Amino acid sequence: MLWGFNGFFSKKNAGGVLTEHFPEAQKSICDFHGMFTSSRHEPGVKYAGLIHPGLIGCLPDRKMLDMWNAREKALIDTDPARVPPWPRCPTPSRLIWAS
């Protein structure tokens, strides 16, 4: 049987952006049954696991990236010394733009 998992670190081990809501480390293991999956940690949940090209195939255009960065920077500026820190905003120098 095929399986996969997802999870996140606890707040004391760097955490993530939702540590106020989920302060403890958690994981969820999923078992794949053809195109459907179920979770050992979430009984009764079943969903279609459609193939996705990933984030690299979904880069926004420059105008949209600038809009998103302005929104995210406003959030980061509300607590710049946050622990764990907010993720950094993407910058053009860290992205490969299609011409």
Can you give the residue ranges of every domain in the chain? Answer: 1-51, 54-99
What is the reported pTM?
A: 0.38
Q: Model confidence over 42-66: pLDDT tens digits?
A: 788 888 866 555 544 556 777 888 8
pLDDT score of 98:
46
Name the stretches of the chain with pLDDT < 70. 1, 13-17, 49-59, 90-99
Rounded Cα distance, 59 and 79, in Å: 27
Rounded Cα distance, 1 and 31, in Å: 7
Quick one: 30 exposed, middle or buried, by C-beta within 10 A (0-12, 13-18, 19+)? buried
pLDDT score of 99:
43
